[in-house]
Amino acid sequence: MPSIEIRSATEADVPVILAMIRGLAEYEKLAHLVTATEEKLRENLFGSKPAAEVMLADYDGECAGFALFFTNYSTFLARPGIFLEDLFVKPHLRGKGIGLALFRRLAAVAVERGCGRVEWEVLDWNEPSIRFYKKLGAVPMEEWTKYRLTGEAIGKLAVEAV
């Protein structure tokens, strides 16, 4: 019977992490937006100030999926939380419990660290993932609208602050 092993990524896993990111972007029809490189990932995940953590799921010896997350903070709860930035399981290995194993380990990390919540986002067309998340007991935050500043908008705002 194949086994699932969840492990923390190491710097040696950077090429695998980048491949997973590209696989996720392709699935989400956003591959054209990926500018990540091994060098950037190495610096931002394993450098002097890691911005996020990565867990990898190995299925019968094959790297099958990943979860990339970071700590956030809830002022209302006065407790840290975890934001799951990315979760991806290779298409040919879906339905084997790999995503569930990654979520279980993430929940365990949240409990170990005293976190008050785990949050993430999902594209509204991604019905298979939405069904999966609801089976976990997750609830959509439909009353919230996400906003984002990127590139030029961040630079312009920063300059105006000076």
Q: Active-site residue numbers?
A: 133
Distance, CA of 95 to CA of 105 (rounded, Å): 17
Q: Distance between CA 107 and CA 132 in Å, rounded?
A: 15
Q: Which amino acid is at 138?
A: A
Please state at what angle helix 98-112 crosses helix 127-136, rounded to 10 degrees. 50
Q: Is residue 17 helix, strand or coil?
A: helix
Enter the tokens of residue 74: 């809830």
Residues 6+ apart with CB under 8 A from 7: 55, 56, 58
